[in-house]
Structure 1
Amino acid sequence: MKKTKISFILVLFLATFIFSNHSFAQTYAQNGMVVSDNSVASQVGTEILKKGGNAIDASIATAFALAVTHPQAGNIGGGGFLVYSDLTGTSTTIDFREKAPLLATAGMYLDDSGNLIPGSNHQGLKSVGVPGTVAGLYLAHEKYGVLPWKDLVQPSVDLAEKGVVLSYALSEHAKNFNSATSTQPQFLKDYYKKPNGELTKFGEVWVQKNLAKTLKLIRDKGKDGFYKGSVAKEIADFMKANGGIITLEDLSKYEAVERKALTGTYKEYGIVAMPPPSSGGVAVIEMLNIMEQANLDSIAFNSTPYVHLVAETMRRAFADRAEHLGDPDFNLEMPLDRLTSKEFAKMRYQNIDQNRASPSDSLKFGQLYDGKNTTHLSVVDKAGNAVSLTYTLEQSYGSGLGSPKLGFIFNNEMGDFNPQPGYTNSGWLIGTNPNIIQPEKRMLSSMSPTIVTKNGKPYLVIGSPGGRTIINTVFQTILNVIEYEMPIKKAIEVMKIHHQWFPNELTFEKDLMSPDTQKALEHMGHTTKETTNLGRLMGILIPTDADVFIGASDSSSPDGGAVGY
């Protein structure tokens, strides 16, 4: 009997180990947790928690580590948003979105006839916004960090200098960049090469000496290590020599901003989100308010009526987004209180035809996009304080350009401005005034780092990359957890849909919608379109009735991981 019991325990242990390391498993911890797009970076953040760092400290260390291990989106050459909430009910946000350079103009991507030059706002050095990541992380540390700044940056220095094992996903990127048909810039073709010119292969150690030098200056000099001195001079010189417009003045003037968190409610839960220039917080709160008007007890999850209702809710929020939202420093009269009010949501809900898709041209406006290769990290510390941080280079590997002397990639975030003032079509172009290019203006964003609270304490920490889909995947995951009481992993993995007003398409994840539902939606007037996956969510759930943190990384993230202790 004793031998049988021991064997059973061994089998149980092995099964637990196997499933806890499987991509579909949840991770449990009692003292702290980090979930990000790279398990090595998550481990870096967790080690900071073990050393007594708080959630802010761990998020900073993880973000710098992602700049080394997840270069397609992790960055010091881009920007983003941080949302923070603690056990006292205090919440705040850090806005480190990129800015338009001083030499930027509203028509900088137009030809002589006033038409957009295809690709011009996403390609070349004129597509690069003034980076905000280092300033944002530094401001977060100044205001709320507890460990020394150097301790938070040093792990990323070590990863870059000593090297990391190249993952299969990154090795495939390296091969694609150097294929015979590749049109990538030479900087990306060389990015994964060794000093002898050979391509680093899967499983080999990938060393980034020049990035390590840049990170050391940031470690030793803080924000000034990036925005002043040799790094700033090299950025400005590289821009001038290669057709860019960012100057030393742009870099020296850049400041991250602490902004009051945008808050709302869904039933008994609180929503803590990012205000503009993120559109995510406004849209998520508006959509939750609209869904709160419905009797979801009578609507089966992912049924035809449910998908229709969610799509129509999205359609309305995205139209409101384009009409009203932009950089708050340039748009002083945005009606945020109205857009996030229950009364406005009731009006929006009442004009939804439950049996027919709305024509998008009956609304007035549309939607812009962040790149699909944004990345998100969620952190909870031992005390239960939470950080939700999303940052980006815009498209995968941003502009694909950078100075070899510095070792990091520049964003192409200028593409998130409305590039053709006054012109909106039924496809991708939006021309509304709040997001027209102006010098030092922050471009509108879809990034939606969010913290859901229960009884005033952090309950769910969630966010995602995914460009135009970010808002909707975060919204649906919150709804899945709260309304349908799904475990965090299931809430992340179940089918998501996406509608953004223009183009007038209802996008759904391939093989997760039944053919009968698809046909029924098309009969109701929806144009359906399938895609491989929507979003790449990273979440932590903090149950109120258990002394545990539950984390999950989206299975679509090949190197992602939830790490706790």
Structure 2
Amino acid sequence: MKNTTLLVSALFFLLLQTNDSFCQTYARNGMVSSSSKIASEVGIDILKKGGNAIDASVATAFALAVTHPAAGNIGGGGFLVFMDSTGTATTIDFREKAPLKASPKMFLDKTGNLTQGKNLYGEESTTNHIGAKSVGVPGTVAGLYMAHQKYGTLPWEDLVQPAIDIAENGFPLTWSLFQAATFFDSNSPIVFLKDYFKKDNGELIQFGELWKQPELAHTLTAIRDHGHDGFYKGDVAKEIVRFMKENEGIISMEDLNRYTAVERKPIKGAFKDYDIYSMPPPSSGGVALIEMMNLMELAVLDSIPFNSTAYVHLVAEVMRRAFADRAEYLGDTDFNVNTPIAKLTSKEFAKKRFENIDMSRASVSDSTKFGQLYDGSSTTHFSVADASGNAVSLTYTLEHSYGSGMGSTKLGFIFNNEMGDFNPKPGYTTTSGLIGTDPNLIQPEKRMLSSMTPTIVAKDGKPFLIVGSPGGRTIINTVFQTVLNVLAYNMPVDKAIEAMKIHHQWFPDGILYEKGLLSPDTAKALEKMGHMMVPIDGLGELMGIQIDADNKIMIGASDSSSPDGAAIGY
């Protein structure tokens, strides 16, 4: 009997330490799920040292700036949702801002058309995503510093130091980073990006070799020693401004000095017995998520099998309505004070939207009305939970993968190209997805609209599900479907992340779906209903944590589509 007990205990211990085929991890004391195993381990080390979820998030975020340069960043911005052990939720908005010299028509030529140029991939693109003018005032350092000052427990220096150590000592270049390095070496017209993964002798760093970033380590050291001011004042700020002037950018010292993160009240909704907390504008994610969950609550889901024709049709129609509302109403509420958030997230409004869904036929997106703005794909998300019951859901971005591709060789990080998230041409909306509605037009110091949707779902007043995703324009819908899968279809977090997902964004009027996960017969049936079906390889790269309060277990999941990601627990 004693041996049997020992065997069962040993097997249970292994279960707690091992990932299954869906990249799922079990733990009791803390969990970090991010797009970089190294960064997740940094966060766990902070938890082991007595830090809380905010401390671990700050350390993880800075580590990602070293190990996940496509999106982990100090040259961009994002959003953080925090729920403490009492069930109190708040958010921190550290979205980038338009520089003081920005204007609504800054990317138009004399004829009123968007100008063109070569992007970091060597492709033709509009200039709102190209060059130093496309760079918004970065917010990441300000946001992380505010989170620490308000809610952290360990010394700031202890949270930045691990990232400095990784940058100075190097880490083995992963296969995905090596693939990016070889591509940029051959294809990118941007010198900084071509040289980004090279040694001092000009040779490309090979897969498995140590990649050291001394310039980034130096910048991080200034941030470690001086906090917020280490980035927005002093030598780092002076070098940012020098770089901008030299490259026709418009960010000034005044822009950097004036930048502040903002703590905001979260968007809150309810689905059955769960409370959902997410980001308010300038993120559109929270409003759209709650609106869509309200719509789905009105459906009789017990009679709609997951992945069926009726299911995909209903979800697409729900997305269509929420994204049309997004385009019409949402922007930076510091500039658009009459944004009807309460209406858009109300149960009564959902009933009106739900009434005109025809379950036998696709609706038509009206090209004379509204469409969808979208972030680029260079976004990353991580989720954190600690033993005391605190939880963090954090998403941040550079906009496109590797942002603008531009950076100062003295600073070692890549600048965002977030100015492309504003409506670039006032009053001009097309069926291809170009939007010109007023709420998201460029204005000095305005924050551009975002799709980022870091979310915490609470059960009985405590964190239950912590989730978010990159994916640009698809972020809202991948998070929405993951939350729906858990709350409505009772899927565990790993299965909810891996399950088939679709995306509809009002304009263009079509359903993107993950090929291989939707049956050909279902796709044909949806086409007969009037949907344009567009197969793609995958949607999102979700990082989630589910908390089983009854068994006191944290279940972490890293999307299998994330090549370097991992959920790490202890």
Shared fold (TM-score greater than 0.5)? yes
Amino acid at match of 2:81: V
Instruction: Give the match for residue 52 of structure 1.
Output: 50
Shift of 1:2: 11
3-state SS of 1:542 partner: strand
Shift of 1:57: 0.6
Which sits farther off after the overlay, 361-370 or 231-240?
361-370
Instruction: Give the match for residue 533 of structure 1.
Output: 538
Q: Distance in 2 between matches of 1:198 and 1:484?
A: 52
Q: Distance in 2 between matches of 1:78 and 1:152?
A: 19
Which sits farther off after the overlay, 7-16 or 225-234?
7-16
Q: Is the 8 A contact 1:184 1:400 kept in 2?
A: no
Instruction: Give the match for residue 117 of structure 1.
Output: 115
Shift of 1:183: 2.9
Aligned residue among 489, 496, 504 for 1:499: 504
3-state SS of 1:92 partner: strand
Q: Indicate yes or no: 2:471 matched with 1:473.
A: no
Q: Indicate yes or no: 2:279 matched with 1:274.
A: yes
Q: Distance in 1 between matches of 2:85 and 2:280?
A: 21
Q: Distance in 2 between matches of 1:82 and 1:7?
A: 42
Amino acid at match of 2:333: P
Q: Indicate yes or no: 2:368 matched with 1:340.
A: no
Aligned residue among 121, 134, 145 for 1:127: 134
Q: Distance in 2 between matches of 1:400 and 1:447?
A: 21
3-state SS of 2:375 partner: coil
Following superposition of structure 1 onto structure 2, how do residues 179-328 of structure 1 map, counting pairs within 5 Å? 179=186, 182-328=187-333
Aligned residue among 41, 60, 85 for 1:62: 60
Amino acid at match of 2:564: D
Instruction: Give the match for residue 180 of structure 2.
Output: 173
Amino acid at match of 1:167: T
Instruction: Give the match for residue 154 of structure 1.
Output: 161
Shift of 1:9: 8.0
Q: Indicate yes or no: 2:500 matched with 1:486.
A: no
Q: Distance in 2 between matches of 1:7 and 1:33?
A: 26
- Moved >4 Å (runs of 4+): 5-17
Shift of 1:372: 1.0
Amino acid at match of 1:124: G
Q: Is the 8 A contact 2:375 2:400 kept in 1?
A: yes
3-state SS of 1:95 partner: strand
Q: Indicate yes or no: 2:149 matched with 1:142.
A: yes
Shift of 1:543: 1.5
Following superposition of structure 1 onto structure 2, how do residues 437-476 of structure 1 map, counting pairs within 5 Å? 437-476=442-481
3-state SS of 2:556 partner: strand
Instruction: Give the match for residue 40 of structure 1.
Output: 38
Amino acid at match of 1:322: A
CA gap of 1:237–1:294, structure 2 versus 1, over 3 A, is same
**CA offsets per residue over residues 95-132 of structure 1, 9 Å max, x none?**
00000011111001111111222411001111000000
Over the residues paired in the alignment, what is the CA RMSD in angstroms?
1.8
Amino acid at match of 1:123: I
Following superposition of structure 1 onto structure 2, how do residues 554-565 of structure 1 map, counting pairs within 5 Å? 554-565=559-570
Instruction: Give the match for residue 91 of structure 2.
Output: 93
**CA offsets per residue over residues 63-98 of structure 1, 9 Å max, x none?**
000000000000000000000112312110000000
Instruction: Give the match for residue 171 of structure 2.
Output: 164
Amino acid at match of 1:32: G
3-state SS of 1:448 partner: coil
Amino acid at match of 1:336: I
Q: Is the 8 A contact 1:325 1:434 kept in 2?
A: yes
Q: Is the 8 A contact 2:23 2:559 kept in 1?
A: no
**TM-score relative to the length of structure 2:** 0.96
Shift of 1:371: 1.2
Q: Distance in 2 between matches of 1:12 and 1:42?
A: 25
Q: Is the 8 A contact 2:15 2:26 kept in 1?
A: no
Q: Distance in 2 between matches of 1:190 and 1:169?
A: 17
Shift of 1:6: 12
Aligned residue among 88, 97, 107 for 2:105: 107
CA gap of 1:354–1:564, structure 2 versus 1, over 3 A, is same
Shift of 1:20: 2.5
Amino acid at match of 1:153: V
Q: Distance in 2 between matches of 1:541 and 1:233?
A: 44
Q: Is the 8 A contact 1:23 1:553 kept in 2?
A: no
Aligned residue among 515, 524, 528 for 2:520: 515
Amino acid at match of 2:294: N
Q: Is the 8 A contact 1:492 1:537 kept in 2?
A: yes
3-state SS of 2:129 partner: coil
3-state SS of 1:551 partner: strand
Shift of 1:54: 0.6
Q: Is the 8 A contact 1:416 1:443 kept in 2?
A: yes
3-state SS of 1:360 partner: coil
Amino acid at match of 1:132: G
Amino acid at match of 1:81: F
Q: Is the 8 A contact 2:367 2:430 kept in 1?
A: no
Aligned residue among 68, 77, 94 for 2:75: 77
Amino acid at match of 1:456: G
3-state SS of 2:128 partner: coil
Shift of 1:195: 1.2
Q: Distance in 1 between matches of 2:420 and 2:546?
A: 34
CA gap of 1:457–1:20, structure 2 versus 1, over 3 A, is same
3-state SS of 1:429 partner: coil
Instruction: Give the match for residue 552 of structure 1.
Output: 557
Amino acid at match of 1:80: G
Shift of 1:184: 3.8
> How many residues get paired?
561
Q: Distance in 1 between matches of 2:558 and 2:537?
A: 17
Shift of 1:14: 11
**CA offsets per residue over residues 138-169 of structure 1, 9 Å max, x none?**
00111101100000000000000111111111
Q: Which runs of 5+ in 2 are unaligned?
A: 117-125
Q: Distance in 2 between matches of 1:23 and 1:373?
A: 26
Q: Distance in 2 between matches of 1:20 and 1:147?
A: 29
Instruction: Give the match for residue 376 of structure 1.
Output: 381
Q: Distance in 1 between matches of 2:24 and 2:70?
A: 25
CA gap of 1:67–1:352, structure 2 versus 1, over 3 A, is same
**CA offsets per residue over residues 16-74 of structure 1, 9 Å max, x none?**
59x92455231000001100000100000011011111111100000000000000000
Q: Indicate yes or no: 2:425 matched with 1:427.
A: no
Q: Is the 8 A contact 1:319 1:363 kept in 2?
A: no
Q: Distance in 1 between matches of 2:333 and 2:408?
A: 32
Shift of 1:12: 6.0
Q: Distance in 1 between matches of 2:88 and 2:14?
A: 41
3-state SS of 2:142 partner: helix
Q: Is the 8 A contact 1:86 1:385 kept in 2?
A: yes
Amino acid at match of 1:152: L
CA gap of 1:114–1:28, structure 2 versus 1, over 3 A, is same
Q: Distance in 1 between matches of 2:2 and 2:29?
A: 34
CA gap of 1:15–1:288, structure 2 versus 1, over 3 A, is same
Q: Distance in 2 between matches of 1:117 and 1:522?
A: 36
